[in-house]
Structure 1
Amino acid sequence: NRCKGCNLCVVACPADVLSLQPKEVNDRGYHFAYAVSEEKCVGCGSCAAVCPDACIEVYRVVKKDA
């Protein structure tokens, strides 16, 4: 909800994972960034590093055997 659609994260992503939502807006009225293809994410954190509002958090999901 804090995203203001500045597009910095989209440009910074080397794997082309992010895009700005073309049709929807968030609570603040901005077209927000979202993950188009999460499976392509390499976890580099470039998007989070350039986000001026700290809207993005990059983390790894650990799968545990049952």
Structure 2
Amino acid sequence: MATTSEKELKLNVEWCKGCGICVEFCPRNVLELKSGKINIKNIEACIKCGQCELRCPDYAIYLGGKEDGR
């Protein structure tokens, strides 16, 4: 199992409905809505807290291991 430091932010843009909940809950301003869909605008600021994943009603954003291939 990957530790938090080994995980990376993953997007499934096709599943995103553009509600912006993840953007609002991100404490480091990593995310934005671009053309009505989620976009990572500042990955270097991401602390991998998981708030975006926890709040997304569409499972369009998550912290995944590099080995998961998605």
Normalising by structure 2, we get a TM-score of: 0.70
Return the match for 1:53 from 58, 61, 70.
58
Identity %: 38
Gaps in structure 1 of 5+ consecutive residues: 25-30, 62-66
Kindly indicate whether the alpha-carbon contact (under 8 Å) linking 1:43 and 1:59 is maintained by their aligned counterparts in 2.
no
**What is the aligned residue count?**
53
TM-score by length of 1: 0.74
Which structure has the larger Rg over C-alpha atoms?
A: 1
Determine which of 12, 16, 22 is the counterpart of 1:3: 16
Amino acid at match of 1:45: G
CA RMSD in angstroms comes to: 1.3
Task: Write out aligned runs for 1:17-28 (5 A).
Answer: 17-21=30-34, 24=35
